[in-house]
């Protein structure tokens, strides 16, 4: 057991031990339906599952690993061949459905646009089917999600999220920085900003895009994202300055010109707006 603790501590911050004990208590006390959310990275999620299995041998624990986007989580769980008798079901990969949905919306729009009031089908279904999850499945569900997806749940599926029994946060040692290095750091912070923006955290998105710009001032994409976030915050002059920089870098980018025109139009600068649209 002591050796396992050392392996656990290798990948997870030591101050997460109290959080882990709270998670174990919640799982131990839950009989039948329960709904827990865990904010963690994929690596930390794997460590958590392994340790919970060791510490709760009296519970039957299974994992639903979603490798593709889905529309209906209830059906996925109800159709599991080994469903009967499961006490705890860890659900991994729901963020893929968020990525897929937002990518589809982005592909349908000009440039970076974030329709913050829209809801993916799988979340609509969860809102509608929460009573069925509770009354028919009798399983404690543990959703392992990155932070942006947890925020997304909270904002887009509040009726379902309000049924939660608890939210637990675990941080992996250095995992974010390792991911940043494994990609291009600029790409990492651009994607981070996109994730925060689709979750509605526009100020955090701007901060992430500012980091991307520090690393590569000549990448036009974070300038456009920054401009759109500022536009949605009502900071139109700052938005125009960001679009101007994007256009300076990539003069043929239609999204930057169009978004610049929208900001100018909202300021009543109609001739300049028309010039941007042209």
DSSP 8-state assignment for residue 266? H
pLDDT at residue number 159: 87
State how far the Cα of 122 lies from the Cα of 152, in Å rounded to an integer.
12
- Dihedral of the alpha carbons of 93, 95, 97, 103, in degrees to the nearest 10: -140
Same domain, 127 and 223: no
Return contacts of 236-240, CB within 8 angstroms, 24+ apart: 236/263, 236/266, 236/267, 237/267, 239/263, 240/264
pLDDT band for 114, please (50, 70, 90 cuts).
very low
E runs forming strands in the chain = 34-39, 61-65, 88-92, 140-145, 166-169
- The number of domains in the chain is 2
Boundary (domain end) residue, out of 113, 138, 169: 169
Judgement on whether residues 56 and 135 belong to the same structural domain of the protein:
yes
**Does 162 share its domain with 180?**
no
Same-domain pairing of 145 and 196:
no
Same domain, 165 and 179: no
- Among 251, 252, 261, CA closest to 227: 261
Last residue of a domain, one of 122, 147, 169: 169
**182 burial type by CB count under 10 A (0-12 exposed, 13-18 middle, 19+ buried):** exposed
Q: How far apart are CA 37 and CA 147, in angstroms?
A: 10
**pLDDT score for 2:** 35
Q: Are residues 100 and 227 located together in one domain of the fold?
A: no
Cα 44 to Cα 24: distance, rounded to the nearest angstrom: 15
* 55 shares its domain with 140: yes
R_g of the chain, CA atoms, integer Å: 22
pLDDT digits (tens, 9 = 90+) for 189-224: 887 788 788 878 899 899 989 988 988 899 999 999
Residues 6+ apart with CB under 8 A from 187: 212
pLDDT at 173: 52
Token pair 């392994």: residue: 50
Instruction: Supply the range of the domain harboring residue 186.
Output: 175-277
Same domain? For 250 and 192 the reply is yes
* Same domain (yes/no): 7, 115: yes
Q: Are residues 195 and 249 in the same domain?
A: yes
Domain with 242 in it: what CATH number? Answer: 1.25.40.10
Q: What is the pLDDT of residue 190?
A: 83
CATH code of residue 96: 3.40.50
Q: Which of 169, 191, 208 delimits the end of a domain? A: 169
144 and 191 fall within a common domain: no
Res. 177: pLDDT tops 50: no
The three-state secondary structure class of 230 is: helix
Same domain, 77 and 185: no
């Amino acid at each position: 057991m002591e050796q396992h603790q050392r392996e656990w501590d290798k990948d997870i911050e030591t101050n997460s031990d109290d959080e882990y004990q709270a998670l174990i208590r919640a799982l131990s006390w839950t009989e039948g339906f329960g709904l827990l959310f865990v904010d963690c990275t994929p690596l930390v999620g794997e460590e958590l599952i392994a340790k919970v299995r060791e510490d709760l041998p009296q519970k039957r624990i299974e994992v639903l690993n979603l490798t593709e986007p889905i529309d209906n989580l209830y059906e996925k769980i109800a159709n599991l061949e080994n469903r009967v008798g499961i006490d705890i079901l860890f659900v991994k990969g729901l963020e893929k459905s968020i990525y897929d949905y937002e990518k589809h919306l982005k592909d349908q729009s000009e440039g970076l646009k974030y329709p913050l009031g829209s809801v993916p089908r799988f979340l609509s279904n969860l809102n509608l089917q929460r009573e069925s999850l509770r009354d028919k499945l009798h399983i404690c569900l543990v959703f392992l999600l990155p932070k942006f997806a947890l925020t997304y749940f909270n904002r887009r599926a509040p009726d379902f999220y309000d049924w939660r029994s608890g939210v637990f946060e675990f941080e992996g040692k250095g995992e974010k920085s390792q991911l940043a290095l494994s990609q291009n750091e600029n790409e990492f912070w651009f994607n981070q900003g996109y994730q925060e923006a689709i979750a509605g955290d526009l100020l955090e998105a701007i901060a992430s895009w500012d980091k991307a710009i520090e690393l590569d001032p000549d990448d036009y994409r974070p300038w456009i994202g920054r401009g759109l976030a500022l536009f949605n915050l009502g900071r139109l002059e700052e938005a125009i300055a960001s679009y101007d920089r994007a256009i300076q870098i990539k003069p043929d980018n239609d999204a930057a010109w169009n978004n610049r025109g929208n900001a100018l139009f909202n300021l009543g600068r109609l001739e300049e707006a028309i010039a941007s649209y042209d």
